[in-house]
Amino acid sequence: MTKKSNQSRLYVPEPPFRPGDTPDYSHISVPADHSPPRPDPLCDDHETVEHATSLIRVLRFNGEAVGDWAPSLTADQKRKGLRDMMMTRAMDDRMFNMQRQGKMSFYMKSRGEEAVSVAHSMALRKDDMTFPTYRQQGILINRGASIKEMMCQCLSNAGDRLQGKSIPVLYSFRDFGFFSVSGNLGTQMIQAVGWGMAEAYKDSDGIASAFTGEGATAEGDFHYALNFASTYRAPVILNVVNNQWAISSFQGIAAGEGETFAARGSGFGLATLRVDGNDFLAVYAATEWAAERARKGGGATLIEHFTYRKEGHSTSDDPTKYRPENEPEVWPFGDPIDRLKTHLIQSGEWDEERHVAQEEECKVEIRQIYKEAEKMGTLSSATNVNDFTMFEQVYEELPGHLQAQIEAFKEEL
Amino acid sequence: MARMNMIEAIRDAMDIKMTQDSNVLVFGEDVGYFGGVFRATAGLQEKHGLHRCFDTPISEGGIVGIAIGMAANGLRPVAEIQFADYIYPGYDQIASEAARLRYRSNGEFSAPLTIRTPVGGGIYGGTTHSQSPEALFTHIAGLKTVIPSNPYDAKGMLITAIEDNDPVLFLEPKRLYNGPFYGDPHIPSVSWAKHELGEVPEGHYKVPFESVRKINEGSDLTILAYGTMVWVAEAAAKEAGVNADILDLRSLLPLDIEAISESVKKTGRCLILHEATRTSGFGAELSAQVAEACFFSLEAPIVRVTGWDTPYPHAQEWAYFPGPKRVMNGIRKVMGDS
Ligand SMILES: Cc1ncc(C[n+]2csc(CCOP(=O)(O)OP(=O)(O)O)c2C)c(N)n1
């Protein structure tokens, strides 16, 4: 930022475009093939300083995979990644529509960010604990959690493993390495560091991987996490998903205007990577690198996934009220599903017909699973969740005062 | 049996648990090599190793945050917050995370951690080393808040806390570390070595939380107190010449309301003491619960004796502290003598 006068004036950042503007992102350079080199995962953290300000990319828009970050994935693995992303999107679409029909209180989509969750998950071991936000449902789909159970959680019905205790998308799937998602932003980064420290203490080679949006990096917990991860060389990956928007606030409001979010890690002596989050292969490669570093004792890596939130924040907001309607289309990094699809077709491992068929298949499968889930109840009909379960799991054992409150509640019935 | 002050009793509890269970880790600011500013962890690093007892950054939110992650991952962390006055940066992690994790995951994850922290005044600590924030924690569903008043209870309750499968906030009345304190700073302090509650059994034993300790059996009135005020209550009742049921609550949440109401129904009078500020203090909760449970047995309005609704002052330490005089006034009031 250049200084305009010799007097301080309060500066309030504003996004480059608001509704009514014609968004033009030609000033954002999309690097074609000058990704920073891939250092040894156990390198000195200083060797990744450059990686915090550039962008790791593997996929060119023509589908070619280039550079030394290109991961060695089989065609089957890539096709699974593609399908998991498509399933995630199909599920998001279905659930969004069902929320609109009043079947659930709320929903949050991850459209445009599917590579971040699916490719990341694929590059981890299944027993590595992830501490996701509400936008990494792709991890569950990739790891094979029951989609029906996910849906039942959103519907808060009899099939909800959480028995209606949490709002939609705040899943908990311990057996799938998916930590209970908190509704309080940022809090889980530091918990993941503690989880990782415990893994190291137990001489296990398990690692933890935590997520935050770029907006919530402004919370103190983010700073705690970087600090503790560095101090104790915790085996963790700290992921910032920079999807440009935090509800209606652009990333500049979280001090993203002058510096990248990955660069936050350099001052703490963490390895730092900044990756094209719409590039499935690059997300996979960055995660694989950071996971190896953490597992082998090299400590934590901060990864910024540079991406774009293509839809509203949740079912509760209308994004056209704060950003141009066509901004998602003109955002210059494309769509993660399209880009992996192009790559697979270009390398002769996929074709347009199969893609269209798979799209339909995902839609049908999701519709069928949803039908089954809905049979167990919805918020608008009957959730079929026993009200008395609200008194359970406050503590391991029911204390006297809650027992008394159960009796009091019975009198209301 | 061994003679211990409260610090030694607390250290002994941690030492025993660390010896028994390799999942017990102890950490906090200056806790490792140095052994803590109150020496509660002295020697633990040397005995159990750097991995078991270590220093943390000055980051209360971070300390509680890693404790949650560790606890969820099978460890039994015992975190020290140097003074309760500095617990607020960790408040969100305690209130929104540690206390909620079991509930929001419907039991899939939990946070069996213990947070130890010194509370209360009487050491000229001023605004920032004297606070008693218990009421900010008893309002949190999913958390347990306990406070011992002597070495015997401190050791037994800390072992209970570490073994508890839910998060426990363990408040340590710092004025009691070296000996009982009867509220008058001009009387030379006695040490725990001279008091029977400084007799602490060796080895493992537990004091259950929901179990008030009766200090004196009386019929004139019931005095509810915890932490330092237990001792002030004892001295003031003696001086006032009343025969009081004095109950040391030990645990604020969960609360042994049965024992409390049994006593109040017997005496018909209830005096509530705490060092913390008055408005919305834990005394308000006690008062409400006693009124709900014992209203028709009460012969006089419930009386609260507390700190003033000001920050904890420095030079005016004893003007702030609810010492024997204020407690005696309270006794007279609840006895209908004034
Ligand atoms: C501590 C806290 N403050 C505020 C909120 C309300 N809130 C929910 S999501 C959100 C925006 C988060 O943006 P970002 O971190 O960028 O993540 P994204 O939604 O873009 O994935 C806000 C302000 C919250 N849930 N928790």
- Domain encompassing residue A278: 45-312+320-382
Q: What's residue A3's pLDDT?
A: 56
- Say whether both A104 and A137 belong to one domain: yes
Q: What's residue A32's pLDDT?
A: 67
Neighbours of B289 (CB within 10 A): 17
How confident is the model over A185-194, as a mean pLDDT?
98
| 3-state secondary structure at position A206 | coil
- Say whether both A391 and A363 belong to one domain: no
Please give the mean pLDDT across all residues of chain B: 97
Residue of B nearest to A131 (CA): B69
Q: Is ipTM over 0.95?
A: yes
In a domain, A195, yes or no: yes
Q: What's residue A33's pLDDT?
A: 64
* Res B229 pLDDT > 80: yes
CA dist A243 and A278 (Å) reads 10
Say if the Cβ atoms of A228 and B62 lie within 8 Å.
yes
In a domain, A40, yes or no: no
Please check whether residue A11 touches B, CB under 8 A. no
- Say whether both A121 and A255 belong to one domain: yes
CA dist B281 and B138 (Å) reads 10
CB pairs < 8 Å spanning A and B: 141
- Ligand 1 pocket, mutate which of A181, A185, A212, A322 (most atoms under 8 A from CB): A185
| Residue reference for tokens 């010194």 | B118
Among the ranges given (A382-391, B236-245, B302-311), the one the predictor scored with the smallest mean pLDDT: A382-391
CATH of the domain at A199: 3.40.50.970
Amino acid at A312: G
- Say whether both A282 and A410 belong to one domain: no
Q: What's residue A383's pLDDT?
A: 82
- Which among A189, A194, A396 is the nearest to B70, CB-wise? A194
In a domain, A266, yes or no: yes
Nearest CA to ligand 1 atom 20: A246
> Distances from the Cα of B325 to the Cαs of A112, B110, B240, in angstroms?
69, 45, 10
How confident is the model over B186-209, as a mean pLDDT?
94
In a domain, A21, yes or no: no
Give the number of the atom of ligand 1 that is nearest the alpha carbon of residue A133: 21
* Res B180 pLDDT > 80: yes
Name the phi and psi angles at A246, rounded to 5.
-120, 100
Q: How many domains does chain A have?
A: 2
CB B62 within 8 A of CB B11: no
pLDDT, tens digit, 9 for 90 and up, residues B77-95: 999 999 999 999 999 999 9
- A384 token code pair: 């079929």
Set of chain B residues whose Cβ sits within 8 Å of the Cβ of A171: none
Say if the Cβ atoms of A190 and B69 lie within 8 Å.
yes
pLDDT, tens digit, 9 for 90 and up, residues B99-115: 999 999 999 999 999 99
- Say whether both A54 and A200 belong to one domain: yes
Percentage of chain B lying above the pLDDT 90 cut: 98
Q: Active-site residues of B: which are they?
A: 129
Percentage of chain B lying above the pLDDT 70 cut: 100
Q: How confident is the model at residue A114 (pLDDT cuts 50, 70, 90)?
A: very high
Residue to substitute from A152, A175, A191, interface B, most B β-carbons within 10 A: A191
How confident is the model over A88-100, as a mean pLDDT?
98
- Which among A172, A191, A228 is the nearest to B57, CB-wise? A228
How confident is the model over B261-284, as a mean pLDDT?
98
In a domain, A156, yes or no: yes
pLDDT, tens digit, 9 for 90 and up, residues A301-318: 999 999 999 999 999 999
Q: What's residue B19's pLDDT?
A: 98
Say if the Cβ atoms of A400 and B110 lie within 8 Å.
no
Q: What's residue A4's pLDDT?
A: 60
- Say whether both A307 and A394 belong to one domain: no
- Say whether both A374 and A403 belong to one domain: no
- Say whether both A274 and A395 belong to one domain: no
- Which among A165, A173, A400 is the nearest to B103, CB-wise? A165
Checking DSSP bridges between strand B24-28 and strand B76-80, what pairing results, if any? parallel
* Res A290 pLDDT > 60: yes
In a domain, A253, yes or no: yes
Q: What's residue B188's pLDDT?
A: 87
Set of chain B residues whose Cβ sits within 8 Å of the Cβ of A237: none
In a domain, A71, yes or no: yes
- Say whether both A397 and A365 belong to one domain: no
In angstroms, what is the span from residue A247 Cα to ligand 1's centroid?
7
Say if the Cβ atoms of A190 and B65 lie within 8 Å.
yes
Please check whether residue A9 touches B, CB under 8 A. no
Please check whether residue B25 touches A, CB under 8 A. yes
In angstroms, what is the span from residue A238 Cα to ligand 1's centroid?
17
* Res A167 pLDDT > 70: yes
- Which among A182, A195, A399 is the nearest to B69, CB-wise? A195
pTM of the model: 0.97
Q: What's residue A28's pLDDT?
A: 79
pLDDT, tens digit, 9 for 90 and up, residues A372-403: 999 999 988 888 889 999 999 999 999 999 99
Residue of B nearest to A172 (CA): B105
How confident is the model over A358-373, as a mean pLDDT?
98
- Say whether both A351 and A402 belong to one domain: no
Please check whether residue A253 touches B, CB under 8 A. no
- Say whether both A260 and A299 belong to one domain: yes
* Res A1 pLDDT > 80: no
- Say whether both A278 and A405 belong to one domain: no
Residue of B nearest to A190 (CA): B65
Q: Looking only at Cα atoms, what is the longest distance across chain B? A: 60
In angstroms, what is the span from residue B53 Cα to ligand 1's centroid?
35
Domains and CATH numbers, chain B: 2-200 (3.40.50.970), 213-335 (3.40.50.920)
DSSP B264-305: HHHHS-EEEEEEEESTT-HHHHHHHHHHHHHGGG-SS--EEE
Checking DSSP bridges between strand B199-200 and strand B2-3, what pairing results, if any? antiparallel
Q: What's residue A312's pLDDT?
A: 96
The CA-based angle B219-B220-B222, given to 5 degrees, is: 85
In a domain, A34, yes or no: no
Contacts of B174 (CB under 8 A, 6+ apart): B38, B118, B119, B120, B122, B123, B125
CB A234 within 8 A of CB A300: yes
| 3-state secondary structure at position A284 | helix
List ligand 1's pocket residues with C-beta within 6 A.
A 133, 135, 183-185, 212-216, 241, 243, 245-247, 309, 313
CB B200 within 8 A of CB B34: no
* Res A237 pLDDT > 70: yes
